[in-house]
Amino acid sequence: MTFDELNSLEEAKAAKWFEQCCASTTWVNNMVDARPYADINAVESQAKTAWAACDRDDVLAAFKAHPMIGNIESLRKKFENTKAIAAGEQSGAHTASEETLHELKNENIAYLNKHGFIFIICATGLAA
Domain ranges of the chain: 3-54, 66-115
Rounded to whole angstroms, the Cα distance separating 128 from 97 reads 9
For the chain, the farthest-separated pair of C-alpha atoms sits apart, in whole angstroms, at: 48
Rounded to whole angstroms, the Cα distance separating 91 from 38 reads 32
Q: Is residue 90 within 8 Å of 67, Cβ to Cβ?
A: yes
pTM, two decimals, is 0.68
Which of 120 and 124 is assigned the larger pLDDT? 120
Q: Average pLDDT of the chain?
A: 82
Residue 108: strand, helix, or coil? helix
- List, for residues 2-11, the tens digit of each pLDDT value: 999 999 999 9
